[in-house]
Amino acid sequence: MSFFRKLPDGLVVLNARPEHAGQLEELQRICFPTLRDEERFRAVHFLKHQELFAAGQLVALDGDRVVGATATVRLHFDPAHVDHTFADIIQGGWLTSHDPTGAWLYGADLSTHPDYRGRGIARALYAARQELVWRLRLEGQVTAGMLAGYGAVKATTPVETYYAGVVAGEIRDPTISMQIATGFEPRGLLANYLSDPVCDNYAVLLILPAEKQVKGASRSFAMSSIRMETEMPGPRARAALARRAESMPAGLGRATDVVVERAEGALIHDVDGNTLIDLAGGIGMMAVGHSPKAIVDATDAQARRFIHTCSLVTTYEPYMALAELLNEVTPGDFKKKTLLASSGGESVEEAIKLARKFTGRSTIVCFEGAYHGRTLLTLSLTSKYGLFKAGFGPFASDIVRLPFPNTYRRPAGMSEEDFVDYAISQLDLAMIAQVDPSAIAAFIIEPVQGEGGFVPVPRRYLEHIRRLCDQHGIVLIADEIQCGSGRTGKLFALEHYGVIPDILVAAKSLGAGMPIGAITGRSEIMDAAQVGGIGSTYGGSPVACAAAIEALTIIRQPEFLAHANQLGHVLRGTLERWKARYELIGDVRGLGPMLLMELVSDRVRRTPLPPEDTVRIVKLAAAGGVILIRAGLLSNCIRFLPPLTMPEAMLCEALEVVERALATVTEERMANVPVLVESRG
């Protein structure tokens, strides 16, 4: 995570980069003319420092000009054995004394260009180092300050006297006094620290414990993850978005203007150097976080073996291992088999094919509010017409669509239990009015509707469907593409219900970002198709399988699920608190950490918040450094699909930004301020 701070007078402090190496060497020459060559750093040394400990190397820039710098390493510091020399630390200039597990930050060098003295650069660099101490949770800073004023008086003053005078504040030493004023505590003299007549080779051991404040250092800035350096979108992002508009169709959805450069864990770094917290996870794809090392290594290792040989032509270990793993971990004790595809939509298509072949029937029952994909059949099963379906019909036949019992939107005055009873009776009626169960091949349902607004299916309703399917030989297909793979705090959402599907479809977070979909179900159903009837060229890509095996392994760890549930606990608590505070939150719902808030302009009538207001919250959040996406049939929900590995502190930081956005929109609505489409953070 990179450091960047603008100083009041326009100078900038940031992590040193390779292109600064030449200027850094020059700065050393200017600042330390009395040092021997081997005691000064050269460009190659600076490159090595960045390689060893990039976060600990900082420069101060005036435009492109390096006008200050500091080089640090992490060390173990033993108060009982403090005697050391500069040479011990710098190791010929390479700073290989750096210990990545060291608990102290040792300042090996701090220099300010003579033309820039007195502008607070040294102070800013010490402050930056202290923020690094806080961010890395170190014990503090330690350094050896040169007794720069001693060389001039050494003929007349013993060093101990000089030192005592400086510590007491009676003597002003050009270097040490400033360091003490910054907050360093002197801990004794170091003789022969280095060869420099200016200080007669004497230095003072200085400690700056982590508990101490340093002027110009901000704990919250240090601990925060968000870094918004430009407006959103910044200049590079704007250029990319212009290229996008030129080369790609206008119809391709675009939820944010964040153009990604890099991502790790729950953080996204955009092309303008901004760092945002990702609460969207690429639409629920990143339960295990962006680019965990295990997954990157697994995909790389597999690619080096082979990228693709086609699961229809050959067989390979990753496909089988993933199939075996899914057969084992999915709900149900019966014999299972798995088929792999390249996306969620394709996986649903395969499941339907198998259900029809197995039963010899054609009708599929699906639900309002459902989302199953964008291929013609899955689009036919998908509910939201205006956004997803308009202009693309005619749609597939033999599909029956039933209302999905959304208890938030039950008729006013009806209890939840009565509402579920009503929904069940409507389902039974549909089994006469719309289709006979003997004609139904499958029910397909998302245990928690995703795009539909994180509506969990009521338990009794789901159990009724299971009974119906058992009674009439109907295949129950659970679409766990969004709610599966750890998203609800259990491996699969159905584990919360104790209902076993006949086929379970997984994708999204299953592959940690790689394109894969899985269809796992009862052997007799999975084997129903004729040989050659299912499968596809790319299906079960070896590289994607390798990623999925790692992802499942991570998700199944108890620590992962425990942490996911803890995040869920924090999130739900926060959303409930917001609901009490902000009128525009009509409902908070979900399962485990899969949570969402539905926004309304009238709590009683549950009138959906106008779309531009919901969009405004999302845009304000993005300007503040948090990526959010919407959901809901009425497009008035904000859903949370964070990487489930994110630290709690980071989640809290992100939620603060979201709350500010909620508060702003609430105020604007009260003042009836016309809603702006653009915003600056």
Partner 1 sequence: MPGPLSLGLAARRKLAVSRGVPQLTPVFVASASGATLTDVDGNVFLDFAGGIGCINAGHADPTVLSAIREQSEHFLHTCFMVSPYESYIALAERLNELSPGTFEKRTFFVNTGAEAVENAVKIARSYTGRPGVLCFDDGYHGRTYMAMALTAKVKPYKAGFGPFPEPVYRVPFAHPYRCADATGHSLRQIQALFESGVRPDEIAALIVEPIQGEGGFVVPPPEFLRALRSLCDQHGIVLVADEVQTGFGRTGKLFACDQFGLVPDLLLTAKSMASGMPIAGITGRAEIMDHLEPGAVGGTFGGNPVSCAAALATIALFEREDLCGRSETLGRLFAERAHSWQKRFACVGDVRGIGGMQAMELVTDRRTKEPAAELTRAVSRFALEHGVILVTAGTFGNVIRILVPLVVGEAQFQEGLDVVEQALESCARGAAR
Interface with partner 1 in residues 327-356 (CB under 8 A): 327, 337-339, 342-346, 349-350, 352-354, 356
Q: Restricting to residues 28-87, which ones interact with partner 1 according to CB under 8 A?
A: none
The full DSSP string for 483-542 is TTTTTTSSSSGGGGTT---SEEEE-GGGGTTS--EEEEEEHHHHT-SPTTSS--SSSS-H
CA distance 203 to 172: 15
The full DSSP string for 53-87 is HGGGEEEEEETTEEEEEEEEEEE---TT-----HH
19 vs 246, beta carbon nearer partner 1: 246
Distances (CA, A) of 305 to 300, 308, 318, 322, 512: 9, 9, 11, 17, 20
Is 453 a binding residue for partner 1 by CB under 8 A? The answer is: no
Is 654 a binding residue for partner 1 by CB under 8 A? The answer is: no
Identify the residue among 412, 531, 670, 671 touching partner 1 (CB under 8 A). Answer: 531
Identify the residue among 261, 421, 495, 668 touching partner 1 (CB under 8 A). Answer: 261
Relative to beta strand 336-341, strand 363-367 is unpaired
CA distance 254 to 369: 21
Coil, strand, or helix at residue 544? helix
In sequence order, which residues have a C-beta less than 8 Å from that of residue 611 and are 6 or more positions away? 635, 636
Distances (CA, A) of 313 to 537, 604, 632: 9, 60, 42
Identify the residue among 89, 266, 462, 528 touching partner 1 (CB under 8 A). Answer: 528
Is 361 a binding residue for partner 1 by CB under 8 A? The answer is: no
85 vs 536, beta carbon nearer partner 1: 536
Q: What's the closest the beta carbon of residue 2 comes to partner 1, in angstroms?
A: 14
Query: From residue 215 to residue 254, what is the string marking binding to partner 1 with x (rule CB under 8 A)?
Result: -------------------------xx-xx-xxxxxxxxx
Identify the residue among 229, 527, 583, 656 touching partner 1 (CB under 8 A). Answer: 527
Identify the residue among 22, 197, 533, 611 touching partner 1 (CB under 8 A). Answer: 533
Nearest by Cα to 199 from 191, 211, 207, 208: 191
Q: What's the closest the beta carbon of residue 599 comes to partner 1, in angstroms?
A: 19
Query: From residue 598 to residue 637, what is the string marking binding to partner 1 with x (rule CB under 8 A)?
Result: -----------------------------x-x--------
* Residue 348: its H or E element: helix 344-359
Beta bridge partners of 443: 365, 476
Q: Restricting to residues 502-521, which ones interact with partner 1 according to CB under 8 A?
A: 507-508, 512-515, 519
Q: What's the closest the beta carbon of residue 531 comes to partner 1, in angstroms?
A: 5
Is 1 a binding residue for partner 1 by CB under 8 A? The answer is: no
Q: Restricting to residues 271-310, which ones interact with partner 1 according to CB under 8 A?
A: 271, 278, 280, 282-286, 290-291, 295-296, 299-300, 303-310
CA distance 666 to 681: 17
> Which segment (73-81, 377-385, 400-408, 653-661) binds partner 1 by CB under 8 A?
377-385
CA distance 602 to 588: 15
Crossing angle of helices 542-556/293-305, nearest 10°? 150
Q: What's the closest the beta carbon of residue 439 comes to partner 1, in angstroms?
A: 12
CA distance 113 to 84: 27
- Judge residue 183's burial from the number of C-beta atoms within 10 Å of its C-beta, 0-12 exposed, 13-18 middle, 19 or more buried: buried
Identify the residue among 537, 556, 647, 673 touching partner 1 (CB under 8 A). Answer: 537
102 vs 521, beta carbon nearer partner 1: 521
Q: What's the closest the beta carbon of residue 263 comes to partner 1, in angstroms?
A: 4
